[in-house]
Amino acid sequence: MMPGFPEKILLVDDEANLLAGMRRLLGQSFNITTAEGGIEALGLAQNEGPFAVVVSDMRMPGMDGIELMRRFQEASPDTTRIMLTGNADQKTAVEAINTGQIFRFFNKPCSMATLSEGIMAGIRQYRLINGERVLLEGTLSGSIALMGDVLSMVAPESFQRSLRLRGWSLQVAAGMGLDSAWELELAASLARIGEISVPLEVLARSRSGQRLTPVEEEMLSRVPEAGANLVRKIPRMAPVADAILHQDKWFNGQGLPHDGKAGQDIPLNARVLHVLLALDEAGSGELSRNAFAALEKMQGRFDPAVLTAAARSLSAMTVDEAAFTRLDVPGSALRPGDHLETSLELDNGKLVLAAGQTITDALFVRLQNLHKMYKFRDPVRIRRAGRL
């Protein structure tokens, strides 16, 4: 007969006969797995989990129930933990409940009816926790995806930049061993989401190096704040929003926002993001040794430890400047693999491709078709593989 609850339940005791009896009685309603002691239980949790509920005896040789529950809390925090104790163990059990390790405890001997009700309550708790997490993850991922879609449609060049920053952030997070790697990844992905508030022509002039009016400069300076305000509306995204807000903040305290923060008081993810954005700008969308060298000369701007960690983590992705030639070519002479160091525009000034993009095969075909209809503004500065 199939059990009434499909979730896995783990029963742990050092008495094999007691486990067999509990399995026989509870197995009609629950999906039961048993373990003779804490070590075996942890092995089952790793190889056969997740378990919705773990029920353990308090006194066992080798590893007692409190230690087992502590280990379960670390390895499988969603698992509901129930303890069976003797009267002499009640003080210890109450302390375990107060520290968050135990959901419930029952005195031994415990009737199967009481234990069954406790397991059902544990399953309901497990379902509640997992339901909230699934809802949160779904809401979070959906919100992030929507923002990315909006950015890709409104400012495709900004979207491409966000993809580069995301890839670099994953490498740096791994190299630094960051616990909040997912927060840095999201901050890098959404760093420029605030650019949707800036007119496209202003973004285009900024990328092409044209002179901006004071009003336009002010618009761009507020991009981090605008992005942070958007992201902060998503539940539990405050740390990501703070990183986005402080992405332009210098390590010595200069720059926006004017909140008095400097050095280690600036969020770590913001300090990493500040380095990645500067590398992207200095290398026109690609990592290069020259870009790292340029950043090292900017005293007070970057966290030295973060800059060193970024150089180490991204070394494998750094291009060799000696393997490229810089050229000024007509837009019609672009080839797949060419890297734009200045923007490609039509003769009327409309932006086609922003600086920092690499010509892919698909873009090459698009440019050929576009050139049949319009005239490009020549020349365009590129970096091409190989030496002349």
The CATH number given to whatever domain includes residue 185 is 1.10.3210.10
Domain containing residue 314: 156-319
Which range has the top average pLDDT, 264-278, 317-331, 371-385? 264-278
- For residues 81 and 177, state if they share a domain: no
Number of domains in the chain: 3
- For residues 236 and 370, state if they share a domain: no
Residue 36 included in any domain: yes
- For residues 185 and 233, state if they share a domain: yes
**Cis amide prior to 239 (ω within 30 degrees):** no
Q: The tokens of 104 are what?
A: 């419930």
CB atoms within 10 A of CB 270: 25
- For residues 29 and 116, state if they share a domain: yes
- For residues 45 and 179, state if they share a domain: no
CB atoms within 10 A of CB 76: 19
- For residues 238 and 125, state if they share a domain: no
Percent of the chain's residues with pLDDT above 70:
90
Q: How many helices (H) and strands (E) does the chain have?
A: 15, 10
Query: Helix (H, G, I), strand (E, B), or coil: what is residue 81?
Result: strand
In this prediction, residues 343-349 reach a mean pLDDT of: 86
User: Could you tell me if 204 and 195 are in contact, meaning their C-beta atoms sit under 8 angstroms apart?
Assistant: no
- For residues 106 and 249, state if they share a domain: no
Measured distance CA(312)–CA(287) in Å, rounded:
12
- For residues 164 and 184, state if they share a domain: yes
Measured distance CA(344)–CA(331) in Å, rounded:
7
- For residues 364 and 329, state if they share a domain: yes
Quick: pLDDT tens for 165-207.
988 999 999 999 987 788 898 899 889 989 888 888 888 888 7
User: Could you tell me the pTM of the whole model?
Assistant: 0.59
Q: Report which of residues 162 and 313 the model is more confident about.
A: 313
Residue 2: pLDDT over 60: no
The CA distances from residue 240 to 143, 196, 226, 263, in Å, are 13, 18, 13, 18
Measured distance CA(172)–CA(325) in Å, rounded:
29
Residue 145 included in any domain: no
- For residues 33 and 126, state if they share a domain: yes
